[in-house]
Amino acid sequence: MGRRRAPFPVRRKVCRFCVEKVRDIDYKQIQILRTFMSDTGKILSSRITGSCAKHQRQVGKAIKRARNLALLPYVIR
């Protein structure tokens, strides 16, 4: 039994921060940070968002900093 291939090639996601040549991600950019959070308020993985390791770390730190300053909620119900 061989593995079946997908009928079309899977396109690899590209880091949007690398494309836009963003150096630092700021904790005050709430609208951008919300796109990297799930409906329940968890930080989405880089596998889902398509961001590189460097920018994923910056996103995580910025979200945690914004939560600490009460700019973002910890849990969304």
What is the tens place of the pLDDT at every residue in 44-54? Answer: 999 999 999 99
Residue 67 has pLDDT above 70, yes or no: yes
CATH number of 16-68: 4.10.640.10
Give Cβ neighbours of residue 51 (< 8 Å, ≥ 6 apart): 15, 16, 17, 36, 59
What distances in angstroms separate CA 65 from CA 8, 16, 40, 69, one per listed residue? 40, 21, 18, 6
Angle at 26 between CA 50 and CA 59, to 5 degrees: 30
What residues does each domain of the chain span? Answer: 16-68
State the pLDDT confidence band at 39, using cuts at 50, 70 and 90.
very high
Q: Which residue has the higher pLDDT, 6 or 75?
A: 75
pLDDT, tens only, 7-31: 777 777 889 999 999 889 999 999 9
pLDDT of 1: 63
